[in-house]
């Protein structure tokens, strides 16, 4: 269960970073 939570956290963190990067580059 902890592995699933960690994986979801990494996906959300990566997704958020991509949004911020795209926003700053635009």
Mean pLDDT throughout 2-22? 95
H helical segments located in the chain? 2-25
Query: Is pLDDT above 90 for 20?
Result: yes
pTM reported for the whole predicted model:
0.56
d(CA 1, CA 22): 32
CA distance 1 to 23: 33
The pLDDT assigned to 21 comes to 96
Q: Report pLDDT for 26.
A: 86
């Amino acid at each position: 269960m902890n592995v699933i939570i960690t994986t979801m956290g990494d996906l959300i963190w990566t997704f958020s970073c991509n949004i911020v990067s795209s926003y700053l580059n635009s």
